[in-house]
Structures are given as structure tokens and as C-alpha cells.
Amino acid sequence: MATLKEQIEDRLREYDHWATRRRYGAEGPNNRRLWVLACMDERLPVDEALGIRVDTPAGAGDAHCFRNAGGIVTDDAIRSAMLTCNFFGTEEIVIVQHTQCGMLSANAVDLEAALKKKGVDTDNLTLDPTLPELKLERGAFAKWIGMMDDVDETCMRTIAAFRNHPLIPQHVVVSGWIWEVETRRLRAPTKEAEKRARTDVRAVQFGVKGKQPARWA
């Protein structure tokens, strides 16, 4: 049996490696070699949903976690996933979207119109002032917002986008899940109406009229 002195020394070594793990690249991965893409919604508790420790306690270290509106594919999500999978030792991607998502609550065309009323020229925008060459084509702003018609369908398409992206190594395991805000349960995305009946997963349930701009064409 190890002495207390030896146990303390082991913990100190482990902590030193945890604190400096980015120095070691792929030899210093997070605890589970995992990257999580999740919606930014405050009602989506990543730790509770996945049974891991990312946010609680702070710095627990199980995964790299990236949040954006909807938990969808964006250029910056791809950038982060590319780095963690190719250079930081990550071997699994988990996507978590959720019911009652704000990205179901309006049509993106209406949101763009609201910005135009505020004087924003959505056809002439610098998205990133540090990367002015990153631009949208004229008329693409509403699509860029990324509103959803259906959470389950979007989750399945998001999974496919990461599985098939050239910057994500083919051996990386990719899965996606839906967190039910109403029931605090995790489930796989599905097209089966019976399995979705207890939750709001479609924009039409929010009273949204008209299809969203076709981001997934």
C-alpha cells in the first residue's frame, strides 16, 4: 500500500501535468480525448446531459467544450474541432442540441429584416475584423444566422457534416444527441413522431411561418 507521502506526490505530479498539458500536444489530451459541441442555451447542462465533468467543477478537464447558438456547424466550430482532433489528441466528437431551442423561435429572414431596420447593411459586413477576407456572398446573411426548422433533423445533419469534413480525421468517433429541456433526459435524434411527441422540436411549434433559408443545401 502506498504511503500518504507517495499519494500526495502522485497527486502533485498529476496536477502539474493537467496544468501544463497543452505543452505536450497530442500527448497531453483532455481526460476523455473528447470535444463537445453544444448550444449556448443556459438550460443545457453539458455535464448533467453527458455524465462528464466539463464545467462543474470548473476546469475538471474531461473535454474541450465549444458552444454556439444552436450547437451547429460554423466555420469557427470547424476550426476548433480541427485543432483538437489533429493536434491535441482528441478522438471523439459529441454534439448536443436541445428541445425548446431559441434557434427555432423565429424565421431568419425576419431577423435579418429587423437588423436592416436598425441600419445594418447585411450585404456588406466584415464578419471578423482580424480576418477581413472571410466574407459572405450577397444575400447569404439569413442563411448564416443558422435558424432551424427541426432540431432532430439539424442534429443529424450536423453529425454528418463533421463525419464528412476533410479537416476531421476519419477515425474520430462522431455522435449527436438531443437534450429534452422539458424532461431533463437525453435521447438520440429521431424522425419518429412518437418519440418526439412530448417536446417542442420544430419551428412550427413556435408559430414560425415559412421555411428557414436552406443552410443545409
For residue 208, pLDDT over 60 is answered with yes
Query: Of the ranges 3-7, 45-49, 52-56, 104-108, which one carries the lowest mean pLDDT score?
Result: 52-56
pLDDT recorded at residue 35: 98
* More confident call, 99 vs 58: 99
pLDDT of residue 150: 95
pLDDT of residue 216: 66
The residue extents of the domains of the chain are 30-105+147-210, 108-146
The pLDDT value given to residue 215: 78
pLDDT computed for residue 198 by the predictor: 82
Cβ–Cβ < 8 Å for 153, 203: no
CA–CA dist 19, 30 (Å, integer): 11
pTM of the model: 0.92
The whole-number average pLDDT for the span 27-37 is 96
What fold does the segment set 30-105+147-210 form as a domain? Beta-carbonic Anhydrase; Chain A (3.40.1050)
What does the mean pLDDT of the chain come to?
Answer: 94
Q: What is the pLDDT of residue 195?
A: 87
Task: Characterize the bridge pairing of strands 173-180 and 64-68.
Answer: unpaired
pLDDT in tens, 163-195: 999 999 999 999 999 999 999 999 999 999 888
Q: Given this model, what pLDDT does residue 52 score?
A: 95
Question: pLDDT-derived band of residue 199, with 50, 70 and 90 as boundaries?
Answer: confident
* Section 4-12 average pLDDT: 96
pLDDT of residue 56: 78
Summarised one tens digit per residue, pLDDT across range 58-98 is 778 899 999 999 999 999 999 999 999 999 999 999 999 99
Pick the range with the lowest mean pLDDT from 86-100, 118-132, 194-208.
194-208
